Structure 1
Amino acid sequence: MSAARSALLPDTALSDTRALAEQLSAQLSPSALQWLSGYLAGAAAHKRPLDADSSASDSLPVTSTATVLYGSQTGNAKRAAEQLAQRLGAEGVAVNLHRTDAYPVRQLKQETQLYVVISTQGEGEPPDDARAFMDFLMSRRAPKLPELRYAVLALGDSSYPDFCVIGRRIDARLSELGATAMHPRGEADVDIETVAEPWLDAVLAQARQQTGAAQTTPLASVTPLRTATPSRHSRERPFAAEVLGNQRISGRDSLSEVRHIELSLEGSGLAYAPGDAIGVWPRQSPALVEAVLQGTGLDGDTQVEHKGERLALADWLGQRRELTRLTRPLLAAQAERGDHAALKQMLGPDQRDALARTLDEWQLLDLLQHHPAEWDAPALVAALRPLAPRMYSIASSPLMHEDEAHLTVAHLQRGHGAAARWGVASRFLSQVEEGAQVPVFIESNERFRLPADDGRDIIMIGPGTGVAPFRAFVQQRQLTAARGRQWLFFGHRHRRDDFLYQNEWLAAHQAGALKLDVAFSRDQTDKLYVQQRMSEHGAALYDWIENGAHVYVCGDALRMARDVHATLLAIAQRHGSKSTEDAHAWLDALAADGRYARDVY
């Protein structure tokens, strides 16, 4: 601060201002702080300077107000939205940042500048926190929006057929309601930055032009306040976590190999809460890399330069590229290079089911074997999607296991010998030895948190490895002497080989700290699943929920989570005497209140 400015702001005022800022930073959430930083930047642009020469204020830009909405299942859309809000604030735009389930939809008709960052999940579904917003926007209740200017950044995964479909639907619906697009929709794959960064630069250039900031002295960059010193490690700068233990916890006769892995976070500065996830940067199996090189006839020692980086082809394939997930763009490239009519037909609009099966069941090796084509090394590197980290729910409480994070990992594998196919991260983690290092970071999951009131009951539904976060929940509530009851529904194939963490659950149950219901689908003639156990106890489940219990679901999104959702609706209709419409409204209200949370994948 200049001497002239300091003279006009007494030391006591500076002290009071600093104290107020510190108090706010300690009390507000990161999202609220992001909004506040943008708001203050906009307010500062409107203020007349405090010095005697007030004429300079006439040249300051006129600011606008923008709303940034995000819907995020894994945190990617949230990060992109926060970055957008911060950078808009630095351009002198007052910003309101909202998660979609916290946005008052009645405000939509008053908006004039709206940015939407939204992901698509599974088979064309919105993230959980955006379901109610999507229902409103697509309904007859949505208002006409002739004054609204908007931009959409859609996030998705091109290994699914409905790539970015939620962003496309929002874009089309806003246009249908009379709004005007400020910038073409961005569609980002899992290598988000490739699309997101140019899109952000473009919309920020428009914001700068609108506020007139390009013709004036730029405002100081706004840095959001934080409640604590952040770790120096992140998704872009992962921590090399030492493996403390790697133990198989499924029986030797189990059809699935499930491993309990313990990682050291000592010295990392990384902190997590129960419900959060660990992001793991895997490496491809050397055997798979060699098989791909043989399948393409390429030399792994060939040097390839791509986007300013030069590596041997084998290193690109082993460390930087997806080999176990196919994408629609890759199928299209293979079809063109090999002139494969069957592949081209599969990409047609009437072949969605066949495309979905191929993307789900095939890997790069299958594509190379069934539909060969000529590739050169640079073209192959450019066509393959960048390798992305994999997320695993943390299966430990930081109170019980200080400076550690535990994972529950199912080794995804099908076939044997030369026909064997596996998941990249589960293969990597299943084979990592004690003492080795794994690149990791923490992925916060604010929507999957224990109740702030420890007197609330919790209902946990987690078949298979979906039980992982509930191990953290039970440990945390044990050490904090939580007063609320706990009810776990767990399911798998066989009790003898697949009862993950059996001793821990039984000990908690016998101590009266855990109500436990299990379903082992293959231990009887008729298959039995957790949703059937839920139906059997429907009256008690409904009573728990009506008396304030929080419901958590973790696991497979495409089948289990849908079946559990349908079961909860049926329970509300049967034991709450609700109509179909009222049951849906009841469950939506639970979700909006944070009492129905899902961590599904």
Structure 2
Amino acid sequence: MQFATTNSPFNEEQTDLLNQLLPTLNESQKYWLSGYLAYSGASVSEAAATVDVEAPVRPEEAQASSQQAETRDITVLIGTQTGNCESLGKEFSEKLKQQDLSVTLLDMDQFKPKNIKNVEDLFIITSTHGEGDPPDNSLGLYDFLHSRRAPKLDNVRYSVLALGDTSYEQFCQTGKEFDHRLAELGGERLHERVDCDVDYEEPAASWFSGVIAELQKNGAAETVPEKTPDTDSAAVETPGQPIYSKKNPFKAEILENINLNGRGSNKETRHLELNLEGSNFVYEPGDSLAIAPENDPELVNQLIEDMNWDPAETITVNKEGGVLPLREALTKTYDITTLTKSLLQKAAGLIDDEKLTNLLLPENKEELKTYIEGRDLVDFVKDFGPWNVSVGDFTGILRKIPVRLYSIASSLEANPEEVHLTVGAVRYDAHGRSRKGVCSVQCAERSSIGDHLSVFVQPNKSFKLPEDHTTPIIMIGAGTGIAPYRSFLEEREEAEAEGKSWLFFGDQHFMTDFLYQTELQRWRTDGVLTKMNVAFSRDTAEKIYVQHRLLEEAKEIYSWIESGANIYVCGDKQYMAKDVHEALLTIIEKEGGKSREEAETYLADMRKAKQYQRDVY
């Protein structure tokens, strides 16, 4: 085993010297050096009790010591945007430790990219964000590995677990690119990459088992009975009480359900307050609440009617043998609102339809993308069905309903045993039919005070208030992107924080869409909120957005940044977040007297230092 900064207490210069020296020593020299180090590192009495420097080490002891030294160190790196990969990383690390293995678990932005040449066994667990983009916390390592500075990795064994969503064209793209690049750099693939859809638990467990089997095969791990921790829980364990998590969500009663938009607005944004009493959930500002939603009963009934099914027929819904009536399974278990290429390929294996087969041909890639966009399972059945297949075969190709994550809009300190959400109802027309967001419209139309939602807390370490309450914060968001900032300001009010705060908020109209206006103005008056700039795009002839307000305040923004302010961006990734990023680069370039490249490096360094954090979707 070579020394590395990741598996020893030595710095990089020392590890290089040790790795140059040790291969040149013969056995006698190694024995002498071992005795010398033991003697010089202890007191005289300790040395007498622990080592005889004149006695040679017995060959069998040296062999055992050599075998122990050959145990390879394991590094697990996490690339995450929402926290799913973090939970999997913790679970995987626990399983490795149960094999008596040396494991280092790090977020990718905690890992120094240049140290990758010193890693021995590397396991990457990463998600893909949006249309094929790496998570924010993985950008440093991703860029380094894809640069000319990336080293040869001939001594590195690796495997990749990739999380993604098959409804996106670039499914698991980041994981695929890490896997391909590590191979290009000479790494040895210890286990094949596994790509996971939103229902990732079973394939992830298979990857865990496969990797551990390979380590055991190579003599790196012992067979030890496994204990599976419930690492996706953000609840405090109380003896005698159940642990609520993704596998066992808590039924939270709805205490309030209010439309925040005024009469005449183009939008409907619901403020929900949920009762967490009895859940033992803990959360911090910046975390998310996951809701396990249910499909619209009207859509479920339409699918059953079009397929001429018996809604009371029971079907198996999981590997544990759980059974449900068909209508309940389609309501609570299966995703019927999203078409994906993977689903259509599986469907093609059930039916013999020339039109569907042609649609899936590689040369019809754009036609397939156009067809999938905005359609659901009812559309698909009408276009290609009904099919002469059993209910079980049909539901067997469906994926589970993905949970929906919402930024928490409250502070637990200010609202004990409650959690608040800001949910924008999604409604639109496509292909001759009205469409509704699965979870958002469930909250808006089918959830009343006293009803319950199935929830669990999803921690988000990548979007956190600074520990130092005197640190200034700049919060930038539009629409429902205001949610985490409400939690930030509640938290700072409770803590009587002295740090300055500046909010940039945007929406369509001042009169109808100024979300949480009364609270924000009160915080402004009380000094909890130091400054506030707003942009209402439909109230002016020329549309004004938050990025324009940032540029108007360029000089002071840069002054806050230079004084150590944290910048937060929450909201739409495709447009708002990109435009805000561009505005920040322009401010740093102009006010800091920097070149474009220097401004990009400056902002990248802020991101690595957690001074620039984003929660975008």
CA distance in 1, matches of 2:484, 2:366: 33
State the Cα distance separating 1:494 from its structure 2 match. Answer: 1.1
Matched, 1:263 2:279: no
Q: Name the amino acid aligned to 1:268.
A: S
CA distance in 2, matches of 1:368, 1:157: 22
Q: Which residue of 1 aligns with 2:376?
A: 363
Of the candidates 478, 486, 489, which is equivalent to residue 474 of structure 1?
A: 489
Q: Name the amino acid aligned to 1:587.
A: L
What number of residue pairs does the alignment pair up? 546
CA distance in 2, matches of 1:343, 1:522: 43
Q: Which residue of 2 aligns with 1:114?
A: 122
Of the candidates 154, 157, 172, which is equivalent to residue 162 of structure 2?
A: 154
State the Cα distance separating 1:154 from its structure 2 match. Answer: 0.6
Q: Which residue of 2 aligns with 1:450?
A: 465
Q: Which residue of 2 aligns with 1:379?
A: 393
Q: Name the amino acid aligned to 2:131.
A: E
Q: Which residue of 2 aligns with 1:105?
A: 113
State the Cα distance separating 1:64 from its structure 2 match. Answer: 2.6
TM-score under structure 2 normalisation? 0.83
Q: Does the residue aligned with 1:259 lie in a helix, a strand or coil?
A: strand
Q: Contact 2:234–2:245 (CA<8 Å) still a contact in 1?
A: no
State the Cα distance separating 1:354 from its structure 2 match. Answer: 5.2
Q: Does the residue aligned with 1:191 lie in a helix, a strand or coil?
A: coil
Of the candidates 389, 414, 424, which is equivalent to residue 403 of structure 2?
A: 389
Extract unaligned runs of 5+ from structure 1: 1-49
Q: Does the residue aligned with 1:420 lie in a helix, a strand or coil?
A: strand
Q: Name the amino acid aligned to 1:230.
A: E
Per-residue CA deviations over 1:74-96 (Å, capped at 9, x if unaligned) read 11111111111111111121001
State the Cα distance separating 1:358 from its structure 2 match. Answer: 4.5
Q: How does 1:46-445 map to 2 (within 5 A)?
A: 63-211=71-219, 213=221, 218=224, 229-230=236-237, 232-306=243-317, 307=319, 308-334=321-347, 344=357, 347=360, 349=362, 355-374=368-387, 375-415=389-429, 419-430=433-444, 431-445=446-460
Q: Which residue of 1 aligns with 2:16?
A: none
CA distance in 2, matches of 1:579, 1:339: 60
Q: Which residue of 2 aligns with 1:36?
A: none
Q: Which residue of 1 aligns with 2:29?
A: none
When Rg is computed on C-alpha atoms for both structures, the one with the higher figure is 2
State the Cα distance separating 1:507 from its structure 2 match. Answer: 1.9
Q: Contact 1:298–1:376 (CA<8 Å) still a contact in 2?
A: no
State the Cα distance separating 1:510 from its structure 2 match. Answer: 3.1
Distance 1:529 1:84, change over 3 A: same
CA distance in 2, matches of 1:567, 1:348: 42
CA distance in 2, matches of 1:72, 1:244: 32
CA distance in 2, matches of 1:544, 1:340: 62
Q: Name the amino acid aligned to 2:452.
A: Q
Q: Which residue of 1 aligns with 2:615?
A: 599
| Deviation >4 Å, runs of 4+ | 57-62, 219-229, 334-360
Per-residue CA deviations over 1:37-69 (Å, capped at 9, x if unaligned) read xxxxxxxxxxxxx9xxx99x9699774311111
CA distance in 2, matches of 1:261, 1:468: 11
Distance 1:379 1:178, change over 3 A: same
Distance 1:342 1:589, change over 3 A: farther
Identity of aligned residues (%): 38
State the Cα distance separating 1:459 from its structure 2 match. Answer: 0.6
Q: Contact 2:126–2:162 (CA<8 Å) still a contact in 1?
A: yes
Extract unaligned runs of 5+ from structure 2: 1-49, 51-59
State the Cα distance separating 1:576 from its structure 2 match. Answer: 1.6
Q: Which residue of 1 aligns with 2:541?
A: 525
TM-score under structure 1 normalisation? 0.85
Q: Name the amino acid aligned to 1:77.
A: C
Matched, 1:563 2:574: no
CA distance in 2, matches of 1:68, 1:164: 18
CA RMSD of aligned residues (A): 2.7
Q: Contact 1:338–1:372 (CA<8 Å) still a contact in 2?
A: no
Of 426-435 and 271-280, more deviation after overlay is shown by: 426-435
Q: Contact 1:113–1:150 (CA<8 Å) still a contact in 2?
A: yes
Q: Which residue of 1 aligns with 2:45?
A: none
CA distance in 1, matches of 2:431, 2:111: 52
CA distance in 2, matches of 1:291, 1:120: 33
Q: Which residue of 2 aligns with 1:24?
A: none
Q: Name the amino acid aligned to 1:409.
A: V
CA distance in 2, matches of 1:558, 1:357: 19
Of the candidates 501, 504, 507, which is equivalent to residue 522 of structure 2?
A: 507
Q: Does the residue aligned with 1:161 lie in a helix, a strand or coil?
A: coil
CA distance in 1, matches of 2:464, 2:514: 25
Per-residue CA deviations over 1:342-362 (Å, capped at 9, x if unaligned) read 655554556665555544422
